Amino acid sequence: MARRPPHSRETIERIRAAQINYWSDPQVRAAHGELTRRRMMRPEVRTRISLRTKEALADPITRERQRSAIAKAMASPAVRARISRRTREALRELASGQ
């Protein structure tokens, strides 16, 4: 099978601009977000992710890397404020949806 030559710089920039334009549309982002949410709610997907997470956290190196990343993020007031804001918004959405 013949290898395809790499894209030119102009082509890469054109593709990049098209992707930025596509994803900047709030309706597109909302539609993709809803698709992802529906896929993630499938029982087999949730089970598979749960198993992967358990396996990864069983590794002490992975667990320590995750703990250090969380500690580093939580040390930033901006990150903590963003997490708090998003949590409040999610709880409001849940309360209004029920």
**pLDDT value for 56:** 87
**Single pTM value for the model:** 0.44
What does the pLDDT average to over 25-37? Answer: 93
Write down the mean pLDDT value for the chain: 90
To which residue do tokens 């703990």 refer? 67
Q: Which two tokens stand for residue 78?
A: 């901006």
Q: How confident is the model at residue 86 (pLDDT cuts 50, 70, 90)?
A: very high
| pLDDT tens-digit series, residues 38-64 | 998 899 998 999 999 899 889 999 989
- Length of the chain, please? 98
Q: Which pLDDT tens digit goes with each residue over 5-22?
A: 788 999 999 999 999 999
- Is the CB of residue 73 less than 8 Å from the CB of residue 79? yes
Longest dimension (CA), the chain: 57
